[in-house]
Amino acid sequence: MSFEMWTEKYRPKSLDQMVNQKNIVERLESFVRSRNVPHCIFAGPPGTGKTTAALCLAHDLYGEVYRANLMELNASDERGINVVRQTVKTFARVRTLGEIPFKILILDEADNMTSDAQQALRRTMERYTETCRFVLIANYSGKIIEPIQSRCAPFRFTYLPRAEQDTYLRHVADNESVDLAADGLDAIYDVCGGDLRRAINSLQAAASLGKTVSSETVYSVAGKANPADVHAMIKIAMEGNFVEARKRLREMITKYGVAGSDLVRQIHSELFRLEIPENWKIKLADVVGEADFRLVEGANEEIQLSALLARLAEAGHAMKGG
């Protein structure tokens, strides 16, 4: 088993290797054909290919020497106005010697930049457009000031569909000689939900145990309880067996090492899969929301989860007409 991170090993090198995001890839390929790129904002959830798309664009535009015409900064680390005035400005003002008359500067996590830094960046983008094109990458484009947004072509990335993620994970598993079970794929999608970077990391972590990558191994390395166990605990509580439900709760926390806030979210998801009247789903959603709020405010996990199970037991008793 190699200790190389699979996310880097299997990162696409050019646009035609990218997974999903077909419309975005087509637009970027048109920029490569015309040999011209506007300022861009790549926005969307984590693990959907934003940074990869920017690097692939540079690779296809400049060829194998693309690193000489590219600067990549992570704005969450270097987010102050001095970085824009010094590092960014110095790179942007120098003309490239290649066939393409401009360089590309990638600002990852641009939504973490301070307001002052964004104001300085706006002026830099305007002044050095001829010699440098900016690609801003953000999870939340709304945190980028409007003057910058109006200067950029927007690209909205979305989570990968289940079929695309499964196909790619099977490709990785086959190349690494990993035994990937069908329920393991189900578990990875349940944990990652279309975040391909997290999915590959989860696969590698589960495979490092040296066993078949099954739902059991995936949930154990992800620190998340098996949904079947959560569902069973809820049913036991609503059948009136509070003590047994609390025992199951403690077993899950010990077995999976799951955090209380994560367990509350799983309980919330499983409630909507229960075959109970709609009005009770509404009431119980409110109960779960209250428990989640208390945990966020710093309340004791065990006490709040026990109280939540008690409310579920009361609801089950009331539904039976007791």
Give the CA distances from residue 269 to residues 21, 130, 296, in Å, rounded to whole numbers and listed in that order: 28, 51, 18
CATH code, residues 227-319? 1.20.272.10
pLDDT at 233 over 70: yes
Q: Which residues contact 54 (CB under 8 A, 6 or more apart)?
A: 40, 42, 104, 106, 135, 137
Q: How far, in whole angstroms, is CA 217 from its chain's centroid? A: 21
The CA distance from 261 to 259, in Å, is: 6
The CA distance from 89 to 4, in Å, is: 35
Q: Are strands 103-108 and 132-138 parallel, antiparallel or unpaired?
A: parallel
pLDDT at 248 over 60: yes
pLDDT digits (tens, 9 = 90+) for 26-66: 999 999 999 999 999 999 999 999 999 999 999 999 988 88
The CA distance from 255 to 211, in Å, is: 17
Question: Do 263 and 252 form a contact (C-beta atoms < 8 A)?
Answer: yes
DSSP for 23-87? HHHHHHHHHHHHT----EEEESSTTSSHHHHHHHHHHHHHGGGGGGGEEEEETTTS-SHHHIIII
pLDDT digits (tens, 9 = 90+) for 156-189: 999 989 999 999 999 999 999 999 999 999 999 9
Mean pLDDT estimate for the chain: 87
Question: What value does the mean pLDDT take over residues 245-273?
Answer: 86
Pick the CATH number of 162-222 from 1.10.8.60, 3.30.300.90, 3.40.640.10, 1.10.10.10: 1.10.8.60
SS3 195: coil
Show me where the domains of the chain are located. 6-156, 162-222, 227-319
Question: Do 295 and 264 form a contact (C-beta atoms < 8 A)?
Answer: yes
Count of beta carbons in the 10 Å neighbourhood of residue 156? 13
Pick the CATH number of 6-156 from 3.40.50.300, 3.30.70.270, 3.40.50.150, 2.130.10.10: 3.40.50.300
Question: Do 73 and 106 form a contact (C-beta atoms < 8 A)?
Answer: yes
pLDDT at 212 over 60: yes
The CA distance from 66 to 70, in Å, is: 6
pLDDT digits (tens, 9 = 90+) for 73-103: 876 666 667 676 777 788 888 888 778 889 9
Lowest mean pLDDT among 68-77, 194-203, 235-244, 260-269: 68-77
The CA distance from 179 to 212, in Å, is: 5
Which pLDDT does position 1 carry in this prediction?
45
The CA distance from 53 to 108, in Å, is: 12
The CA distance from 167 to 174, in Å, is: 11
The CA distance from 318 to 284, in Å, is: 12
pLDDT digits (tens, 9 = 90+) for 120-165: 888 888 888 888 999 999 998 889 999 999 999 999 999 989 999 9
DSSP letter at 156 equals E
